[in-house]
Structure 1
C-alpha cells in the first residue's frame, strides 16, 4: 500500500514479461463475475500481444495454462458496475514459463544486485528515509528484474 507521505509499494523484481494497456469491457451476472471474465480476456489478449512482441505467432493456450504462466495482473484503470467491468489492465507473465513456450532462453546475463539507501545526516544523526517523488514513482514502475 502506498503511503501518501513516505515509502513505496514493493516493485516486481522477478523479471516477468509485462504487457500493459490491455482494454477490456465485459458484462457478467455480477460485478465479480464480470471482473473475473475481464481478467481472463486480458490474459488471452496479453499472451497474443507478448507473442507478437517476441516475433512469434500466438499459440492458443487454455485458461488453465495461462493461469499457470501469469504471475500478476496490474490494474491501470478500472470501473466496476453491478454487472459490468471496464478496465485497462497489464499482465505479468513468468519469464521462465512464457519463455519456454515462446522458445526464448530464460537465462540472461545480469549485473550484480545493488542496494541504494538514501541517508540524511542531521544534527550528527544519520537516518535512512524515503520521500515520495516522481523519480521514485518511475523507479517503482521500472521492472528491476529486467535490467
Structure 2
C-alpha cells in the first residue's frame, strides 16, 4: 500500500506540473481537444504511458454497449483524467469522472477544466465552479476474510 501511495504521489505531482505548464503556455479559450493533446504531449515527454479516448466497456442486460464511456486521458493505466474547457466546473463534470472511476475500478482521478477562471485545485466536497482542477479518491473496498 505504501508503494501505491508513493506511486500516486509521484504521478500526481508530475500530472499537476504538466497541466500547469499547458495552462501557463496557452491559457484558456481553446477547444477541449487542444488541451487534451497538449497534456498528452507533456506527460509523454516525462516518459509516462498515456492513452486518450479510452473506452470502458459497459453491459446492459448482458449486452455490451459500445462507446458507453470514454476517458479523455488514462495515465499509467491507473488515473483517469477528464478534460474540460468550459467557463465553470459543474457537479456534472465531477459525476462523470465518478462514473468512470466506479465502472473502471479506478482509485484516483482528476477533472481538469482549462477554461475555468482559477486553474487551481478545488475541494471536491465544496465545488467552486471557478476552480479548474478537482481530484477524486475512491475508497478501497476491503474484502472481508472468509470464515
Report the TM range for the smaller structure's normalisation.
under 0.3
Larger gyration radius, structure 1 or structure 2: 1
Does 1 or 2 have the higher relative contact order (CA < 8 Å, sep 6+)? Answer: 1
Give the number of the structure whose residues are more often strand, by fraction. 2
TM-score computed with the length of structure 1 as normaliser: 0.25
